[in-house]
Amino acid sequence: MSTETIFSKIIRKEIPSDMLYQDDLVTAFRDINPQAPVHVLVVPNKLIPTMNDADADDEALLGRMMTVAKKIAADEGIAETGYRLLLNCGPDGHQEVMHIHLHLLGGRDLGRMVGRPG
């Protein structure tokens, strides 16, 4: 059985967040510890703990996460300057919250794709 995280409470609006978007499939809110001028998390309303738990039935939901991230990038004014979409999985990916989330990062030069350990 999957264990809920703080993201489920944010989705249900039981705790506050800086929410930018919500529909029947996904919710987007600003990261509480932003790593770039724009740092938004796009999460499925349904709890999927890690990318390893996603299956073919989730394809519409996973696609919605991408198109909503694109819309928010435009709304935030970073569509032309560019951005990065990132989804961490497991220990090597340093996933901290076990409810999948797509990071939308932008508003500055983000450097090369993969950092060093630590």
**Nearer residue to ligand AMP within complex by CB, 3 or 56:** 3
**Nearer residue to ligand AMP within complex by CB, 74 or 97:** 97
As measured in angstroms, the least distance from the Cβ of 61 to ligand AMP is 18
Of 2, 6, 37, 63, the one binding ligand AMP (CB under 6 A) is 6
Site for ligand AMP in 7-66 (CB under 6 A): 17, 29, 31-33, 41
Please give the Cα distance from 75 to 17 (Å, whole number): 18
**Nearer residue to ligand AMP within complex by CB, 78 or 103:** 103
Please give the Cα distance from 88 to 93 (Å, whole number): 5
Active site residue 99: no
Please give the Cα distance from 46 to 41 (Å, whole number): 15
Amino acid letter for position 105: L
As measured in angstroms, the least distance from the Cβ of 110 to ligand AMP is 14
Please give the Cα distance from 110 to 46 (Å, whole number): 30
Contacts of 76 (CB under 8 A, 6+ apart): 38, 40, 106, 107
3 binds ligand AMP (CB under 6 A): no
